[in-house]
């Protein structure tokens, strides 16, 4: 009896590495700049910060409890829509926050300039979240509540997330004081804008049309080497009336130069059209919940 080998692709390893880096940055931004001042910039971390006013438990531990409850609710109400990587990122964020807050404490901003604390905290944590989101991962938490609202109330996931986070910011003002509440709401707005901008930069995508007599060879290269999908179309030359192979490919901008170079090596006569894409939604690119 032969055992089956677990094969993990380089793409999967890369996605987990970048997801981990993103979670690490998010935790640093929260622990060093936002948590010390009780700035609840949305998410489960924001709820946990508010709860520390009423429960004598650290933020990291409260996040474990809250996310555990939310994932159970998710499985019962909306099914298994969250992938393994999202579960990994959710609880890894809890771990890093607890580690940096209590286990191996990292330096925390202790100045009097609250707006500086908000700006630095939001920029660092938003950069981390954007990196995580760019790998089709999620830090869970209020994403689950947004999906439930989307399923039963018909509200878009993006709008639901914004409303939930704004409510969390308002409750921070009730739990602490109006000043903290206003800075929390400001953090939510800045966080959303920053994440959106960074994701647009990281996920800059292109589509390529390739017309070539060696479409099969090019298609194999794209799928096996780049691990990208290819749509094969049938075309006809306007002048020659000959049948042509047409390939439609979506790529990240950073992949374009090498891809075109390899295509020209395979077929130097290949006709290539490169176009900007506002969004590419699907496997390997942006999840639909990040757009609508």
Domain ranges of the chain: 10-202, 205-290
Burial of 205 (0-12, 13-18, 19+ CB in 10 A): buried
Q: What is the mean pLDDT of residues 256-271?
A: 87
146-202 pLDDT per residue, tens: 878 877 887 776 778 889 999 999 999 999 999 999 999 999 999 988 987 887 777
| pLDDT higher than 90, residue 275 | no
124-138 pLDDT per residue, tens: 999 998 888 877 777
Between CA 143 and CA 89 the distance in angstroms is: 13
Q: What is the mean pLDDT of residues 22-31?
A: 96
| pLDDT higher than 50, residue 31 | yes
pLDDT at 244: 80
Q: What is the mean pLDDT of residues 216-234?
A: 85
The 3 state secondary structure assigned to 17-83 is HHHHHHHHHHHHHHHHHHHHHCCCCCHHHHHHHHHCCCCCCCHHHHHHHHHHHHHHHHHHHCCCCCC
pLDDT at 288: 53
Report the topology of domain 205-290.
Answer: Alpha-Beta Plaits (3.30.70)
pLDDT at 107: 94
pTM value? 0.73
Closest CA to 59 of 17, 128, 108: 108
How many helices and strands in the chain, by DSSP H and E?
A: 10, 4
- Element spanning 283, H or E: none
Q: How confident is the model at residue 62 (pLDDT cuts 50, 70, 90)?
A: very high
Length of the chain: 292
Q: What is the mean pLDDT of residues 210-223?
A: 88
Give residue for tokens 């286990």: 103
Positive or negative: CA dihedral 85, 86, 89, 94: negative
Structure tokens that stand for 170 in this block: 């308002």
Region of poorest pLDDT, from 108-117, 139-148, 267-276: 139-148
Positive or negative: CA dihedral 165, 167, 168, 170: positive
| pLDDT higher than 80, residue 277 | no
């Amino acid at each position: 009896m032969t055992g089956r080998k677990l094969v993990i692709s380089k793409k999967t390893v890369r996605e987990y590495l970048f997801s981990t880096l993103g979670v690490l940055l998010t935790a640093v931004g929260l622990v060093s700049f936002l948590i010390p001042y009780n700035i609840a910039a949305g998410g489960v971390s924001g709820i946990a910060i508010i709860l520390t006013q009423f429960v004598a438990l650290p933020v990291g531990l409260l996040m474990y409890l809250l996310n555990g409850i939310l994932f159970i609710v998710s499985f019962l109400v909306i099914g298994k829509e969250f992938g393994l990587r999202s579960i990994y990122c959710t609880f890894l964020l809890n771990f890093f926050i607890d580690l940096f807050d209590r286990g191996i404490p990292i330096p925390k901003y202790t100045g009097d300039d609250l707006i500086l604390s908000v700006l630095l905290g939001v920029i660092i944590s938003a950069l981390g979240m954007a990196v995580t989101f760019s790998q089709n991962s999620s830090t869970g938490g209020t994403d689950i509540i947004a999906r439930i609202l989307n399923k039963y109330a018909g509200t878009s996931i993006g709008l639901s997330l914004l409303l939930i986070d704004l409510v969390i910011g308002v409750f921070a003002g009730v739990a602490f004081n109006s000043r903290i509440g206003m800075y929390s709401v400001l953090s939510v707005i800045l966080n959303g804008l920053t994440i959106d901008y960074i994701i647009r930069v990281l996920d800059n995508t292109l589509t390529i049309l390739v017309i070539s007599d060696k479409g099969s060879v090019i298609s194999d290269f794209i799928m096996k080497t780049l691990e990208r999908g290819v749509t094969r179309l049938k075309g006809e030359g306007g002048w020659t009336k000959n049948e042509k192979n047409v390939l439609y490919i979506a790529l990240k901008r950073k992949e374009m130069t090498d891809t075109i170079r390899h295509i020209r090596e395979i077929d130097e006569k290949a006709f290539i059209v490169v176009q900007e894409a506002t969004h590419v939604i699907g496997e390997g690119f942006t999840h639909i919940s990040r757009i609508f």
